[in-house]
Amino acid sequence: MVLLLLSACVSANNSSQTNTANTGKTQSTSTKTAQQVLESSVTAMKQLKTTHFEMTTVNQVSSSSPSQPATTMNLKNTGDLIFPDQLSMQLNIGQASANPSLKLAEIETGQKIYIQNAKGKWFVLDNAAAEAGANPLAGANVSNYNNLLTLAEKAKLTDNGNATMNGVTLRHITATFGNDALHDLLTATGQLNALPAPERTKLEQALKNAKLQNPELHLWIDEATSYVHRMELKFIMNVNNSTAATKSEGKAVSASVTPSTSSTNIDTTIDYSKFNDPVKIVAPTGAVSTSDVAQIFQ
């Protein structure tokens, strides 16, 4: 999801993991139901103090228009979290056909947001910019993704038994959402509220033409601690641009300038480790204060 989902949804309207898992399924001997395991995990993850994370998002976009070639974008995000509001992450954003990739970093200290651009220069968003939701990397903040667990409690659950990951036996549970859940997913991960008002309005409009297909959240949970070791959110988002014509001076504007339909296949995986290990997040020195996000990427 994250940045790639937001850009895919808006632009469509306008225009290898390090951890290993045994995919073999074994019958769980636990007396807990999938619902009970999930409920315990919701509580445990809310009480988590710190964690290390590795996030991977693959975004494949295809279009019905021959003038719009298929593209694949990848996001890799690694870092540490100190709950509730401290974060250190390093992002690598790339396109399959493009080289080199874009490398960025972010540090949040609870009151300040620091962003390092591709040139290695640090900026700090002033209070006005932060309160206005101007952080361009907010969609990649892994701390928000715990909210998906609460959303999953209302979804259809499937117990896939046990799987082994890095020598740990984990309960594999799948939550299947309704095809109208895109707005709920964006809200749960904080991506709607993190956007500035104009961008939020644009995305809300784009969502009216977007439909989900096969939205699923896979969870691998350690029953001994109730911590999530891996979560994977995957779905296909279809956008019908033929219904996106707008009115200008009383006349309909044709949507033929964009492909009539586009399809985005999104697969986001987050691996968690080093639960409650000591972590220290330090603000960078010499950061330039700014309220203009565009300045960061110049």
Q: Does residue 60 surpass a pLDDT of 80?
A: yes
Confidence of residue 17 (pLDDT cuts 50, 70, 90): very low
- Whole-model pTM: value is 0.84
Average pLDDT for the chain: 84
Q: Collapsing DSSP states into helix, strand and coil, what is residue 62?
A: strand
Q: Does residue 8 surpass a pLDDT of 50?
A: no
Q: What is the tens place of the pLDDT at every residue in 192-247?
A: 776 767 777 887 887 788 888 999 999 999 999 999 999 999 999 888 876 554 44
Q: Does residue 259 surpass a pLDDT of 60?
A: no
Cross-strand pairs, 124: 114, 289
The number of beta carbons lying within 10 Å of the beta carbon of residue 281 is 16
Confidence of residue 46 (pLDDT cuts 50, 70, 90): very high
Q: Which pLDDT score is estimated for 249?
A: 43
Mean pLDDT (whole number) for 35-59: 97
Q: What is the tens place of the pLDDT at every residue in 109-165?
A: 988 999 999 999 999 987 667 666 677 787 788 998 999 999 999 999 999 999 999
Q: Which pLDDT score is estimated for 133?
A: 64
Which range has the worst mean pLDDT, 77-91, 123-137, 247-261? 247-261
**Percent with pLDDT over 70 in the chain:** 79
Which range has the worst mean pLDDT, 211-220, 260-269, 272-281? 260-269
Domain ranges for the chain: 2-13+34-245+252-279
Residue 240: CB partners within 8 Å, gap ≥ 6?
209, 211, 260, 261
| Torsion sign across C-alpha atoms 183, 189, 191, 193 | positive
Q: Does residue 9 surpass a pLDDT of 50?
A: no
Residue among 166, 167, 186 nearest 177 (CA)? 186
Rounded Cα distance between 177 and 159, Å, is 15
Identity (one letter) of the amino acid at 98?
A: A
Q: Which pLDDT score is estimated for 293?
A: 85
**Percent with pLDDT over 90 in the chain:** 52
State the CATH architecture for 2-13+34-245+252-279.
Clam (2.50)
Cross-strand pairs, 108: 87, 113
Q: Does residue 281 surpass a pLDDT of 60?
A: yes
Angle made by CA atoms 39, 41, 44, in degrees to the nearest 5: 115
Confidence of residue 55 (pLDDT cuts 50, 70, 90): very high
Q: Does residue 43 surpass a pLDDT of 90?
A: yes
Q: Which pLDDT score is estimated for 167?
A: 94
Residue among 56, 49, 125, 41 nearest 89 (CA)? 56
Q: Which pLDDT score is estimated for 251?
A: 47
In this structure, what token pair is assigned to residue 92? 């690598």
Confidence of residue 107 (pLDDT cuts 50, 70, 90): very high
Confidence of residue 63 (pLDDT cuts 50, 70, 90): confident
**At how many degrees (to 10) do helices 2-14 and 197-207 cross?**
70
